Amino acid sequence: MEFETTFGTDAPVIGMVHLPPLPGAPKAPADGARAMREALDRAAADARALDRGGVDGIVVENFGDAPFYPDDAPKHVVAAVTRAATAVAAETDLPLGVNVLRNDAEAALSVAAAVGADYVRVNVHTGARVTDQGVVEGRAHETLRLREALGVDVGIFADTDVKHSAPLAAEGYTAESFADTAERGLADAVIASGRGTGEATDPEALEAVVAERDAHGLDTPVLVGSGVSAETVGDALSVADGVVVGTALKEGGETTAPVDPDRVAELVARADEAR
């Protein structure tokens, strides 16, 4: 995919549609039909609010499904995410991304291919991380070959040092460096995030990711993946090539709350001042 062409800007603001618990998830309503209906209604409403507020792209994610399957979400989850992504696509023409937590890149790419989405987010694309789901390993070799087999131009946005995890490293080396993710893993964009959902990304860590990118002579875009707010989006875009924002765009700044279009408009206006 062509990053700037896809988003219509070289510094996109990408908003999150955090799905409520889907049917079968521990926190979902016992009535599966009700759970699906509520998820679809929220997904559609959040997509409209993000579009109205002026974001440049959207990611649909099964955020409410905790505790997450490590890397192989069952078929009912994939089906529900597909249905939700379809509902979002019906509400907006914005570039659409898919993330199937915790790290089911095969499912995310399959959903994206089915609904005509533009990109996927993969939390662990190369290397391995210790997470609350255990050790999660990157499967870049499978993800890239699946994309080729499906014949789709879906971008792979891969995290580095992803939130809610710690690296498996030997003598200070982790096989999850920018070069491994972008040069060997062939990611189309790399995402740097904080320690948890809604937590700010360390500015020095972000600068280090960009510096490593430049040192290897790469032009892979770097996005900030957590903790961006209206107050910090300008600083983030002075270093990174885009931001992925969820919590700061929600009512009251609560991650699980509905998207607040006024918060979206404020953050986008601050971003426009910086780009």
pLDDT at 170 exceeding the cut of 60: no
DSSP assignment, residue 266?
H
In angstroms, the first-to-last Cα distance of the chain is 22
pLDDT at 10 exceeding the cut of 70: yes
pLDDT at 97 exceeding the cut of 90: yes
With bands split at pLDDT 50, 70 and 90, how would you rate the model's confidence at 88? very high
pLDDT in tens, 240-273: 999 999 999 999 999 999 999 999 999 999 999 9
pTM score of the predicted model:
0.94
With bands split at pLDDT 50, 70 and 90, how would you rate the model's confidence at 130? confident
Please answer whether residues 264 and 246 qualify as being in contact, where contact means their C-beta atoms are separated by less than 8 angstroms: no
The two structure tokens encoding residue 174: 């982790």
pLDDT in tens, 182-219: 888 999 999 998 776 767 888 988 998 999 899 889 99
Burial tier of 74 (Cβ tally within 10 Å: 0-12, 13-18, 19+): exposed
Residue type, 211: A
Of 228, 222, 226, 233, the closest CA to residue 10 belongs to 222
pLDDT in tens, 37-52: 999 999 999 999 999 9
Q: Quick one: pLDDT at residue 175? A: 42
Computed from CA positions of residues 246, 54, 104, 171, in that sequence, does the dihedral angle turn out positive or negative?
negative
Q: Cβ atoms within 10 A of the Cβ of 256, count?
A: 16
